[in-house]
Chains A and B, each alone.
Chain A
């Protein structure tokens, strides 16, 4: 992926996005709705042509050699509709025929939990069932790259868990998985690396651990005090290991992001300043905070 930009008139959907996904990794593409995730994936699939830049998959340019690129891909695209007159089994037979694969449709349907619906016309399927069906279609021919655009849309929690399991199974087989989501916990649960897209720009790209570390060393303190005194926040922020301190409730609650080692120092500092600590708790900095931070969702 090299410096991909896509503009619609004056609107910039993607701005010089540039990254590489390694073979065999599970890559999560994260961002709020409208960040440009689907545009990116649609460029992979050559539904959309970039204004600038190139995407290569297994050495094939997605635009000039899209067919070759897609031969090794399994895709669950966004905004699809299944063929309402074909049965689930016929869908898979069509994909198997299209990819010159040799596979047993029933086996794939079994994997996604649709074995009992194999001879039903897909027109009567719920969103979740259609999603399972298209997932099964994406698995045809053991593709080297699986691209899933918001795969858990329409799935119940159970279905979402099965989806995660399938992603992990495919990764174990050696497939590269690229999936987009606006839901953090899904990405957190399965991804080796994460890229966060915000307003068409790649805000960051890192491992989950790396991201955690980048958010203030992983700990947030929440301290209830009787009354905050002037200047005490500033003096906390000068402590080593402290990243940021702020009032989360007028005069009575302080929040501090800091490294693990600095926790006690913060309390001591408060004590020295004559602020009475009534209660305190720590929490791991969640990816939620990090996500919010990168996408400007809070503070």
Chain B
């Protein structure tokens, strides 16, 4: 009954989508390779959480893409084609439709993340035979953080899917968001730095408020949280002793949670109030 029926159907459908399927496999593959090589290239105890930082680059490149691919078309495609008309003429309310779709696709994503991270983590500690409860807990935190990171882009994809009326626009929106956050944010930051320096607003290094602005982007946040919470790093512009509180890891966590909640809620709200 209700959303489970949709989730089941949706799960079957998104599993059929080849591209996402291969990307998920690739993601798992990257983690296995990472888990295998990390202990051999790192200095010091590899079970101390450095692995998370080691993988951040791959995670922030791949996971947003997969998450957006899974969700950006979830509503708009069916809406454009008319499959949604068929679905919503059955006794479902829109909440169940969104929920069914999120669960159907989200489960797929969750399985991939948890599966990859657990296997990679096992590979990292395997050569050492034992692992402390502390670093195990640390690793669970890393998995939660990474899953939430995927959730952010999943939510962005959903919002794109409910705010657009054609698949073409949704594709542009979804990949635009990926492009901006995962690929060019760094370039934007540097460009802006340069420009501000030219006009004389800043001098040499970026001031704190600018660091804050740069840092509200989700992949930057993820990187910061991994560094701050999982690796327990206490240096650099965001973690040094004299950085203001709003650049710290706790403020980062709050922003991160806002990213998890807002796009998802906005996307859902939009779907709830709009005419099909």
Interface residues of A (CB under 8 A from B): 42, 45-49, 66-68, 70-71, 73, 75, 77-83, 85-86, 94-95, 97-100, 134, 137
Contact = CB atoms under 8 A, between A and B. Distances in A.
Given A97-B5, A99-B91, A80 B276 contact: no
Interface stretch (B78-86, B149-157, B179-187): B78-86
A47 B275 contact: yes
B1 interface: yes
B5 to A, nearest CB: 5
Interface in B222-276: 273, 275-276
* Most chain A CB neighbours (cut-off 10 Å) among B9, B82, B90, B93: B90
Contact of A70 (B9, B89, B273): B89
A98 B91 contact: yes
Nearest to A74: B89
A167 B276 CA distance: 27
Nearest to A72: B91
A67 B87 CA distance: 12
A81 B82 contact: yes
* Most chain A CB neighbours (cut-off 10 Å) among B5, B88, B89: B89
Given A85-B13, A94-B9, A99-B90, A77 B85 contact: yes
B86 A77 contact: yes
B275 A80 contact: no
Contacts of A86: 9
Contacts, number: 70
B16 interface: yes
A119 B268 CA distance: 35
A85 B11 CA distance: 13
27 contacts: A42-B275, A45-B88, A45-B89, A47-B85, A49-B275, A70-B91, A70-B92, A71-B91, A73-B89, A77-B82, A77-B85, A77-B86, A77-B89, A78-B85, A79-B85, A80-B82, A80-B83, A81-B81, A85-B12, A85-B13, A94-B5, A94-B9, A98-B1, A98-B91, A99-B91, A100-B1, A134-B86
B7 to A, nearest CB: 12
Given A70-B90, A80-B86, A134-B86, 8 more contacts: A45-B85, A47-B88, A47-B275, A47-B276, A75-B90, A81-B81, A94-B9, A99-B91
B86 A67 contact: no
Contacts of B88: 45-47
Nearest to A79: B82
A46 B88 CA distance: 8
A-B residue pairs, 5 tightest by C-beta: A75-B89, A47-B276, A81-B82, A71-B91, A81-B81
B198 to A, nearest CB: 45
Contacts of B85: 45, 47, 77-80
B89 to A, nearest CB: 4
